[in-house]
Structure 1
Amino acid sequence: MAMLTVRNIPDEVHRALRVRAAQHGHSMEAEVREILESVVSPEGRVKLGSLLAAMGRQARLSDEEFAVFEQVRDKAPAHPVSFE
Protein backbone atom coordinates (compact mmCIF):
# COMPACT_ATOMS: atom_id res chain seq x y z
CA MET A 1 0.00 0.00 0.00
CA ALA A 2 1.03 3.57 -0.59
CA MET A 3 2.05 5.95 2.15
CA LEU A 4 1.27 9.64 2.49
CA THR A 5 2.88 12.27 4.67
CA VAL A 6 1.01 15.50 5.37
CA ARG A 7 3.01 18.39 6.77
CA ASN A 8 2.04 21.71 8.31
CA ILE A 9 -1.35 20.66 9.66
CA PRO A 10 -2.76 23.46 11.82
CA ASP A 11 -2.87 22.65 15.53
CA GLU A 12 -6.68 23.02 15.58
CA VAL A 13 -7.07 20.45 12.80
CA HIS A 14 -4.70 18.05 14.55
CA ARG A 15 -6.66 18.35 17.81
CA ALA A 16 -9.97 17.89 16.00
CA LEU A 17 -8.65 14.75 14.28
CA ARG A 18 -7.42 13.37 17.59
CA VAL A 19 -10.82 13.98 19.22
CA ARG A 20 -12.73 12.55 16.25
CA ALA A 21 -10.52 9.44 16.21
CA ALA A 22 -11.09 8.91 19.94
CA GLN A 23 -14.85 9.28 19.49
CA HIS A 24 -14.82 6.58 16.81
CA GLY A 25 -12.39 4.35 18.69
CA HIS A 26 -9.74 4.70 15.96
CA SER A 27 -6.16 5.75 15.85
CA MET A 28 -5.60 9.11 14.18
CA GLU A 29 -4.08 7.31 11.21
CA ALA A 30 -7.14 5.06 10.82
CA GLU A 31 -9.45 8.05 11.15
CA VAL A 32 -7.61 9.97 8.42
CA ARG A 33 -7.75 6.90 6.15
CA GLU A 34 -11.50 6.64 6.70
CA ILE A 35 -12.02 10.36 6.02
CA LEU A 36 -9.97 10.25 2.82
CA GLU A 37 -11.72 7.11 1.58
CA SER A 38 -15.17 8.57 2.20
CA VAL A 39 -14.28 11.74 0.30
CA VAL A 40 -12.75 10.15 -2.79
CA SER A 41 -15.16 7.19 -2.98
CA PRO A 42 -18.61 8.60 -2.32
CA GLU A 43 -21.38 6.00 -2.03
CA GLY A 44 -23.74 8.05 -4.16
CA ARG A 45 -21.71 7.68 -7.34
CA VAL A 46 -23.38 6.08 -10.35
CA LYS A 47 -21.79 2.87 -11.52
CA LEU A 48 -21.65 2.04 -15.23
CA GLY A 49 -23.77 -1.12 -14.95
CA SER A 50 -26.50 0.70 -13.05
CA LEU A 51 -26.47 3.52 -15.57
CA LEU A 52 -26.78 1.13 -18.53
CA ALA A 53 -29.58 -0.82 -16.85
CA ALA A 54 -31.49 2.43 -16.23
CA MET A 55 -31.04 3.41 -19.87
CA GLY A 56 -32.40 0.02 -20.95
CA ARG A 57 -35.46 0.44 -18.74
CA GLN A 58 -36.10 3.90 -20.20
CA ALA A 59 -35.76 2.55 -23.75
CA ARG A 60 -38.46 -0.09 -23.02
CA LEU A 61 -36.79 -2.75 -25.14
CA SER A 62 -38.83 -5.74 -26.26
CA ASP A 63 -37.67 -9.25 -25.27
CA GLU A 64 -36.29 -9.78 -28.78
CA GLU A 65 -34.35 -6.51 -28.67
CA PHE A 66 -32.98 -7.31 -25.23
CA ALA A 67 -31.92 -10.81 -26.34
CA VAL A 68 -29.37 -9.23 -28.69
CA PHE A 69 -27.34 -8.11 -25.65
CA GLU A 70 -27.25 -11.62 -24.23
CA GLN A 71 -25.86 -13.22 -27.40
CA VAL A 72 -22.33 -14.54 -27.19
CA ARG A 73 -20.10 -12.26 -29.16
CA ASP A 74 -17.32 -13.53 -31.39
CA LYS A 75 -14.10 -13.37 -29.33
CA ALA A 76 -11.80 -13.40 -32.38
CA PRO A 77 -9.62 -10.31 -32.69
CA ALA A 78 -10.84 -7.71 -35.13
CA HIS A 79 -9.02 -7.29 -38.42
CA PRO A 80 -7.26 -3.97 -39.01
CA VAL A 81 -9.11 -1.55 -41.25
CA SER A 82 -7.66 -1.08 -44.72
CA PHE A 83 -8.23 2.21 -46.52
CA GLU A 84 -6.85 1.02 -49.86
Structure 2
Amino acid sequence: MATLTIRNLDSQVEELLRVRAARNGRSIEAEAHAILTEMVGPSPREMRNLAEAIGHRFAPLDGVELELHPPVAIEQQRDRAYEIMKRRYNALRELAR
Protein backbone atom coordinates (compact mmCIF):
# COMPACT_ATOMS: atom_id res chain seq x y z
CA MET A 1 0.00 0.00 0.00
CA ALA A 2 1.06 3.53 -0.69
CA THR A 3 1.53 6.29 1.84
CA LEU A 4 -0.06 9.65 1.14
CA THR A 5 0.99 12.93 2.74
CA ILE A 6 -1.22 16.00 2.49
CA ARG A 7 0.58 19.27 3.14
CA ASN A 8 -0.95 22.65 4.02
CA LEU A 9 -4.38 21.26 4.82
CA ASP A 10 -6.66 24.05 5.97
CA SER A 11 -7.28 23.84 9.73
CA GLN A 12 -11.06 24.04 9.19
CA VAL A 13 -10.92 21.05 6.84
CA GLU A 14 -8.83 19.16 9.38
CA GLU A 15 -11.39 19.93 12.11
CA LEU A 16 -14.29 18.85 9.91
CA LEU A 17 -12.45 15.61 9.11
CA ARG A 18 -11.81 15.01 12.82
CA VAL A 19 -15.50 15.56 13.66
CA ARG A 20 -16.65 13.33 10.80
CA ALA A 21 -14.25 10.60 11.91
CA ALA A 22 -15.54 10.81 15.48
CA ARG A 23 -19.16 10.57 14.27
CA ASN A 24 -18.30 7.45 12.31
CA GLY A 25 -16.23 5.93 15.13
CA ARG A 26 -13.01 5.98 13.10
CA SER A 27 -9.59 7.51 13.33
CA ILE A 28 -8.85 10.51 11.14
CA GLU A 29 -6.66 8.28 8.96
CA ALA A 30 -9.42 5.65 8.60
CA GLU A 31 -11.96 8.37 7.77
CA ALA A 32 -9.70 9.90 5.11
CA HIS A 33 -9.15 6.40 3.69
CA ALA A 34 -12.93 5.78 3.57
CA ILE A 35 -13.58 9.14 1.87
CA LEU A 36 -10.90 8.60 -0.75
CA THR A 37 -12.02 5.04 -1.43
CA GLU A 38 -15.63 6.13 -1.86
CA MET A 39 -14.79 9.12 -4.05
CA VAL A 40 -12.38 7.42 -6.44
CA GLY A 41 -14.18 4.08 -6.57
CA PRO A 42 -16.33 3.20 -9.53
CA SER A 43 -19.29 5.51 -10.02
CA PRO A 44 -22.81 4.04 -10.22
CA ARG A 45 -22.67 4.55 -13.99
CA GLU A 46 -19.61 2.33 -14.17
CA MET A 47 -21.34 -0.44 -12.23
CA ARG A 48 -22.48 -3.30 -14.38
CA ASN A 49 -25.57 -4.17 -12.40
CA LEU A 50 -27.65 -3.32 -9.37
CA ALA A 51 -26.07 -5.98 -7.17
CA GLU A 52 -22.62 -4.53 -7.81
CA ALA A 53 -23.85 -1.01 -7.01
CA ILE A 54 -25.44 -2.18 -3.76
CA GLY A 55 -22.29 -4.07 -2.81
CA HIS A 56 -20.21 -0.96 -3.42
CA ARG A 57 -22.58 1.16 -1.34
CA PHE A 58 -22.44 -1.16 1.69
CA ALA A 59 -18.74 -2.07 1.45
CA PRO A 60 -17.72 0.52 4.08
CA LEU A 61 -20.03 -1.27 6.53
CA ASP A 62 -18.17 -4.55 5.99
CA GLY A 63 -21.14 -6.01 4.15
CA VAL A 64 -24.68 -6.77 5.13
CA GLU A 65 -26.20 -10.19 5.61
CA LEU A 66 -29.69 -10.50 4.22
CA GLU A 67 -32.16 -13.33 4.39
CA LEU A 68 -32.93 -14.78 1.01
CA HIS A 69 -36.55 -14.52 -0.02
CA PRO A 70 -37.94 -17.88 -1.07
CA PRO A 71 -38.27 -18.06 -4.84
CA VAL A 72 -41.73 -17.29 -6.21
CA ALA A 73 -42.73 -18.39 -9.66
CA ILE A 74 -43.45 -15.56 -12.08
CA GLU A 75 -46.86 -17.06 -12.76
CA GLN A 76 -47.81 -16.72 -9.09
CA GLN A 77 -46.75 -13.08 -9.08
CA ARG A 78 -48.67 -12.40 -12.29
CA ASP A 79 -51.81 -14.11 -10.97
CA ARG A 80 -51.63 -12.21 -7.69
CA ALA A 81 -51.23 -8.89 -9.50
CA TYR A 82 -54.17 -9.77 -11.75
CA GLU A 83 -56.40 -10.52 -8.75
CA ILE A 84 -55.47 -7.25 -7.05
CA MET A 85 -56.21 -5.26 -10.22
CA LYS A 86 -59.48 -7.12 -10.70
CA ARG A 87 -60.62 -6.28 -7.14
CA ARG A 88 -59.70 -2.62 -7.59
CA TYR A 89 -61.50 -2.46 -10.93
CA ASN A 90 -64.64 -3.99 -9.43
CA ALA A 91 -64.49 -1.62 -6.46
CA LEU A 92 -64.26 1.37 -8.81
CA ARG A 93 -67.20 0.10 -10.85
CA GLU A 94 -69.28 -0.15 -7.68
CA LEU A 95 -68.37 3.42 -6.74
CA ALA A 96 -69.34 4.65 -10.20
CA ARG A 97 -72.89 3.26 -9.88
Instruction: Provide TM-score, normalisation by structure 2.
Output: 0.46
The one-letter amino acid of 1:9's match is L
Shift, 1:45, TM fit: 3.5
1:24-81, CA deviations, whole angstroms, 9 ceiling, x for partnerless residues? 000000000000000000451425xx48xxxxxxxxxxxxxxxxxxxxxxxxxxxxxx
Percent identity, aligned pairs only, is 47
C-alpha RMSD over aligned residues: 1.8
- Runs of 4+ residues over 2 Å off in structure 1: none
Q: How does 1:5-16 map to 2 (within 5 A)?
A: 5-16=5-16
User: What are the ranges of 5 or more consecutive residues in structure 1 without an aligned counterpart?
Assistant: 52-84
How many residue pairs get matched?
49
User: What are the ranges of 5 or more consecutive residues in structure 2 without an aligned counterpart?
Assistant: 50-97
| Higher helix fraction (1 or 2) | 2
Q: Does 1:25 align with 2:17?
A: no
